[in-house]
Amino acid sequence: MRTGLVGLGAVGVVLGVSLVLIAVWNLPPPGTSTTATRSTYTVVNGRGYTVVLSPPSGATSFVVSYSSDQPITALLSTCSNAPTQCSIGNASFTRSGSWTVSHPSSPLYLSLSDEAVQAATVLVATDASVKSTGGFVWWEEIIVLFAGGVLMAAGGMGVFLGLFLQGNPYARGLPPLPPPEEGEGASGETPEGAPGGPDGPPEHDEP
């Protein structure tokens, strides 16, 4: 077992799993979400009242509606200084009304006026549809998932090799050479001074 290789492989596996979890966690949520507001206002006879409505960022549609206990006049516009010139819709002497604005990019102004003797209590409601955003885009998801998969594969291979790969057979050194035979040198030649060797007495045949 190679502890170092196992450790490096385990780190690679952990990093790969972390990247995959990050990619899954940051998947863009599907569909749209809805944001709603409800507010009540009192409109006094002879005094106009303007409600400033701020659509949320990224809204695809913005619905403005009102309901009153007295007949009122309502005007929805995109400007406050000259509402009749930038009007989106208006309703005269009614108890309720509604308008839908697609992809609003600026605040809206709802002007309310009461012509009745009694003060009017008006409920103003807004409903915004916002396209869900957030998370990685598709190509970022692919890159993160690919990197996580590569790290997991490499780390798993490292753990496997570290656990099952045998050690180096030459790590302990080469085996020692056998000792030379008696009367011979390490090279197999007759040593000097021996009979028959250089500088030695000549060999004699036995009778």
What is the 8-class DSSP label of residue 157? Answer: H
Helix (H) or strand (E) holding 164: helix 138-164
CB count in 10 Å sphere of residue 34: 11
Where residue 30 falls among pLDDT bands split at 50, 70, 90? Answer: low
Contact (CB, 8 A) for 119 and 45: yes
189 vs 170: CA distance, rounded Å? 31
Q: How many CA atoms lie within 13 Å of 139's alpha carbon, on the beta-carbon side?
A: 0
26 vs 33: CA distance, rounded Å? 17
Please tell me which residue, 99 or 203, carries the higher pLDDT value.
99
pTM value is: 0.52
Burial pattern 58-77, b for ≥16 Cβ within 10 A else e, equals ebebbebbbebebebbbbbb
Phi, psi of 31 (to 5 degrees): 80, -160
Where residue 190 falls among pLDDT bands split at 50, 70, 90? Answer: low
Burial pattern 145-184, b for ≥16 Cβ within 10 A else e, equals beebeebbebbeebbeebeeeeeeeeeeeeeeeeeeeeee
Which tens digit of pLDDT belongs to each residue from 82-125?
Answer: 778 889 999 988 999 999 999 998 999 999 988 777 889 999 99
pLDDT at 186 over 60: no
Contact (CB, 8 A) for 45 and 122: no
Which fold is adopted by the domain 32-131? Answer: Jelly Rolls (2.60.120)
How does the average pLDDT of the chain come out, rounded?
A: 79
Q: State the pLDDT at residue 197.
A: 54
Helix (H) or strand (E) holding 10: helix 3-25
Q: State the pLDDT at residue 198.
A: 54
